[in-house]
């Protein structure tokens, strides 16, 4: 906590002073970010830094393993789906990016299918990416070593999330009418390289 508050002091003296006018405009006029980014909660993968964005430029939701669940309008606590609904129907973002990354702990847990670990919430959350795990790990030519399986699963799970995005009716209709574009990206934490997932 102490280091966080020290960081805040630096922010207040530095970044805030330099960008006070931007914050003031954003406070007065509200936000209208052109893009939404769904990223992992992993502390090494910070969308605002990776895309060099200022406040107000991207609407970000972060969760374990940057997953998008399928459309399920029920009474569950759908934090990611609620953020999507707000970004698409209220803010009218023009693009949604699913940002995956190398060395994702959530994906590694899924690939390892570690029994008992994270059984309160993580295991059921990671079931969203189960089709990706099946595709990679149950394939006849599945990579034998775990890092390769995880890397392939990171890419496959981004594709699953992109497919799930299209199950939201207000996303699918906007994609069809070209008001909205979807993209998948994978960030390599070690090299800093960003790769598009087709
Ligand atoms: Zn991750």
Q: What is the pLDDT of residues 58-109, one digit of tens each?
A: 999 999 999 999 999 988 889 999 999 999 999 999 999 999 999 999 999 9
Ligand 1 center to residue 46 CA distance, Å?
Answer: 11
- Chain segment 135-190, per-residue pLDDT in tens: 998 888 887 799 999 999 999 999 999 999 999 999 999 999 999 999 999 999 99
Give me ligand 1 centre to Cα 161, in Å. Answer: 14
Go through the chain and tell me how many residues it has: 198
C-alpha 109 to ligand 1 mean position (Å): 10
Centre of ligand 1 to C-alpha 21, Å, is: 34
CA of 141 to the centre of ligand 1 (A): 25
- Identify which has the larger pLDDT, 117 or 85: 85
Q: Is the pTM of this model over 0.85?
A: yes
Q: What is the pLDDT averaged over residues 38-53? A: 98
61 bridge partner residues: 38
Please report the pLDDT score of residue 117 as a whole number.
66
End-to-end Cα, the chain, rounded Å? 41
Cα(51)–Cα(47) distance, integer angstroms: 6
SS3 label, residue 47: helix
Distance 188 CA to ligand 1 centre (A): 11
Q: How far is the CA of 14 from the centre of ligand 1 (A)?
A: 30
CA of 11 to the centre of ligand 1 (A): 26
């Amino acid at each position: 906590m102490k280091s966080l508050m020290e960081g805040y002091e630096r922010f207040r003296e530095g970044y805030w002073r330099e960008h006070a006018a931007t914050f003031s405009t954003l406070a007065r006029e509200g936000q209208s970010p052109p893009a939404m980014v769904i990223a992992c909660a992993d502390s090494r993968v910070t969308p605002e830094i990776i895309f060099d964005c200022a406040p107000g430029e991207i609407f970000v939701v972060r969760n374990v393993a940057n997953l998008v669940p399928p459309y399920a309008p029920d009474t569950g606590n759908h934090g990611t789906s609620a953020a999507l609904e707000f970004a698409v129907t209220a803010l009218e973002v023009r693009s949604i990016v699913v940002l995956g990354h190398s060395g994702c702990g959530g994906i590694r847990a899924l690939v390892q299918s570690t029994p008992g670990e994270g059984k309160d919430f993580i295991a059921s959350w990671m079931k969203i990416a189960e089709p990706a795990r099946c595709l990679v790990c149950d394939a006849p030519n599945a990579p034998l070593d775990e890092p390769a399986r995880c890397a392939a699963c990171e890419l496959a799970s981004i594709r699953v999330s992109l497919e799930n995005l299209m199950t939201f009716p207000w996303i699918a209709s906007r994609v069809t009418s070209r008001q909205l574009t979807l993209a998948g990206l994978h960030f390599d934490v070690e090299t800093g390289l960003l790769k598009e997932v087709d």
